[in-house]
Structure 1
């Protein structure tokens, strides 16, 4: 290896015939120029890792209009100063290049957390949010590069649907929380991003609308799906619990539905008493479909349940003339009927599987109706 005084003029005259040559600066140890037979000249820095003793070499850039000798020397001096302080620029650059991207974080999130621990429907929702919102914007970025403003910008881009935007934010928060545990970064960039205000839905059917719905169900040609909706209305259950229910979950003699923990939102086994009407519905339904399937509501394949009722539900609502009403709102209709008939919020909450009493509180004003009727009794006596 040659050691010379590197100047612009001396570098311009350097050549290499058969193989590349290295020329080291006599003023700054570890800084030099690599010359290839093609005539290409590049600035390099070489040092030894202070912890491992391993020799490292890093190319700084090509000699030419984009990098002068002065710029290269300043850059080399900075790298060598880092080495003195215990750093390893080559290893650090390699770590940056090989560090995981948000796309890789998403894959690990699904494989190690979502799929083993969440319900299939929740996993499907996560995949949709990843493919629609998160990965197109952040997927190629390194996990350690993501900043608070990146998350804020993504959240703001979905502001037209506040509920969706907040679910995306929650998913990102969980992903970056896991990235901290996996030592991929030290902080959670989602922290401090405020959620959008969400208008809670409190839609349920009036007595007249409920009559229209039951009439539409009675006249629909698909009575298997109609029975699924009837069972949901009679029990206040989530439609996912209804569609995935198996005959082994029911004791029709004792009139009890035992919901397995892996089917309930709260991940706990629930024992739901069945009304006489619900029991009669199930008995008649079993007689209709026979014993060809383990599921109450089998799909096209006997050993798989109906996946969803979207098309059926649109048809029923159109026939009934009901607007702005989701299948999930049947739970609200069930609860509203119980509360307005005098049932306590605590009992209704238990029937619906609510773990937080505040969730049932949305129906509190309906509890005034039976009380007001009772109060009117005395008023009528006095009048």
Structure 2
């Protein structure tokens, strides 16, 4: 029997479930229940296993549409696919929220703690609330673009969120959680990011030095974040000052003197400090193991710090490193009039002074531990390179010819007197 509308309508309800197979398309059939319900199916063999896919109920799906779907299924089988297994996998597929948590639990172990923490914070804050309930394979580029656009006022953060999602989908594909090549985050166009480099001027460095000295001696004024004069957080006995320990001010000075990243200084162990040869032997920096050359000033600063535990900058307990410098840095930079300056800008300042002093970008790159010379190119405009020297030579000769004379010149007012 060929399964047409007329033929199907002529079939009466059987005493028990019955299967009727199409004569023209092997594997395409109709399942008929004792209740009279009729459902299209497609049966095939995958290896030595007999598999079956339910296409849809007759009346909802027409015979012609069901036949086309059966042909598609049988074609996929001929190509080595298992449509029934694929349908089961999709039915059991994890949501995007589940996938993110599994990624953080499994792949997160391969990330540095700070990196894993940023992944978790970004994905749980911006992605999970908006799209976490969707099946991971159902998430489209349009869905992700809406999340991306919602962070338009923070372009750097928006781009990082999409990059992190791209990593999640890449990992999921390698683990078989989503099909190979499925990564909706790869279709998101990034926001343009303004340059984030900020270098301290000589005057700003002096103000920072004054603020650090004040912070570790007489203390900085305690700023109140609570609102209203009756707030219980307002001090009863007038202005109060906060004196910061030498480990806080020392860490900030080390960032400037070494050009190291914040995490490298906060997690620095005394066993990694070689004052005799003037080196830091970092075992776990962002770019892997590396040595950092210590200047005499940096060595003197390290010698001045008391050793109370394994870490150069200890936390609340000597056997643990300090977690961050956010609160003290906020207050110190405010006292120095450096609002908006980040701790990472101290690393940029270290590099900019080296580049502007004519040390050469390769040397600056080695001091910073850059793996690629391209990373150091951001300081190229500061370098005292041959082009700058040529400009100075040319300008000097021109200025000698057309520049203002040091003697004998009269102002217009003098000539009119």
- TM-score for both structures, normalised by structure 1: 0.79
Whether 1:356 and 2:372 are equivalent positions in the alignment is yes
Give the SS at the match of 2:312.
coil
Partner of 1:197: 192
Give the SS at the match of 2:188.
coil
Mapped contact 2:357–2:384 kept (Cα < 8 A):
no
C-alpha spacing 1:374/1:280, structure 2 compared with 1 (3 Å): farther
Mapped contact 1:60–1:72 kept (Cα < 8 A):
no
Structure 1 position 295, deviation (Å): 0.1
User: Once structures 1 and 2 are overlaid, which stretch shifts more, 299-308 or 250-259?
Assistant: 250-259
Distance (Å, rounded) in 1 between the aligned partners of 2:214 and 2:276 = 30
Within 5 Å, give how 1:31-46 maps onto structure 2. 31-35=30-34, 42-45=37-40
C-alpha spacing 1:208/1:305, structure 2 compared with 1 (3 Å): same
Unmatched segments (≥5 aa) in structure 1? 62-66
Q: 1:366 aligns with which of 373, 382, 390?
A: 382
Partner of 2:295: 275
Structure 1 position 338, deviation (Å): 2.5
Distance (Å, rounded) in 2 between the aligned partners of 1:281 and 1:339 = 24
Q: 2:265 aligns with which of 242, 245, 250?
A: 242
Distance (Å, rounded) in 1 between the aligned partners of 2:76 and 2:353 = 71
Give the SS at the match of 2:184.
coil
Whether 1:346 and 2:362 are equivalent positions in the alignment is yes
Partner of 1:251: 274
Give the SS at the match of 1:272.
strand
User: Once structures 1 and 2 are overlaid, which stretch shifts more, 166-175 or 41-50?
Assistant: 41-50
Mapped contact 2:261–2:347 kept (Cα < 8 A):
yes
User: Once structures 1 and 2 are overlaid, which stretch shifts more, 223-232 or 166-175?
Assistant: 166-175
Within 5 Å, give how 1:20-31 maps onto structure 2. 21-22=16-17, 30-31=29-30
Mapped contact 2:55–2:69 kept (Cα < 8 A):
no
Distance (Å, rounded) in 1 between the aligned partners of 2:255 and 2:53 = 69
Structure 1 position 121, deviation (Å): 0.8
Structure 1 position 213, deviation (Å): 0.7
Give the SS at the match of 2:324.
coil
- Paired residues, what number? 354
Structure 1 position 354, deviation (Å): 1.7
C-alpha spacing 1:132/1:316, structure 2 compared with 1 (3 Å): same
Q: Alignment RMSD, CA only? A: 3.6
Partner of 1:64: none
Partner of 2:236: none
Whether 1:319 and 2:335 are equivalent positions in the alignment is yes
Partner of 2:160: 167
Mapped contact 1:243–1:297 kept (Cα < 8 A):
yes
Q: 2:251 aligns with which of 228, 235, 245?
A: 228
Distance (Å, rounded) in 2 between the aligned partners of 1:367 and 1:46 = 73
Partner of 1:266: 287
Give the SS at the match of 1:185.
coil
| 1:109-139 superposed Cα distances (whole Å, 9 cap, x missing partner) | 33443322x2111111111121122223333
Partner of 1:54: 50
Q: 1:123 aligns with which of 111, 116, 119?
A: 116
Give the SS at the match of 1:203.
coil
C-alpha spacing 1:22/1:75, structure 2 compared with 1 (3 Å): farther
Distance (Å, rounded) in 2 between the aligned partners of 1:53 and 1:45 = 20
Distance (Å, rounded) in 1 between the aligned partners of 2:30 and 2:264 = 69
Within 5 Å, give how 1:322-341 maps onto structure 2. 322-341=338-357
Structure 1 position 374, deviation (Å): 8.6
Structure 1 position 146, deviation (Å): 3.5
Give the SS at the match of 1:54.
strand
Partner of 1:217: 212
C-alpha spacing 1:204/1:345, structure 2 compared with 1 (3 Å): same
Structure 1 position 47, deviation (Å): 5.3
Give the SS at the match of 2:343.
coil
